[in-house]
Amino acid sequence: MHSTLTEHARCLYGDEYGPTPECGIEHREHHFVEELTFAGADSILAMLRALSPNVVDGYLPVWVRNLAYRLVLLQRPDDPAVLREAAESLWMHGPDWDDIAADLTRRADALEAGA
């Protein structure tokens, strides 16, 4: 068993910045998705930032990144920094999600302006 969401993701998808650990577990993507689904925002953000520290890099599939940010935003809907981080990720992997990214940025701007 993996001790963190980051460790689980690293085993399943690899890590651009280091070797993929040998854990001896047969990996099934749906187990990771279940863990991600019920993870707290801090665990999800730690995974995203560890495995994709520069947004454009990393081996996490785009759909995993999108789902991860969506789950974080459900837990932290009023966090401007996370809204901007999610928007940046969407812009990097768009253009299908540019309208959503723009909306997230507007929400972050409004929250920072105190609106």
In this prediction the pTM is: 0.91
**Among 19, 21, 17, 73, which Cα is nearest to 45's?**
73
What is the tens place of the pLDDT at every residue in 42-66?
A: 999 999 999 988 888 889 999 999 9
Nearest Cα to Cα of residue 47 among 2, 78, 88: 2
Instruction: Quick: pLDDT tens for 85-94.
Output: 999 999 988 7
pLDDT of residue 37: 97
**Distance in angstroms (rounded) separating the CA atoms of residues 36 and 105:** 24
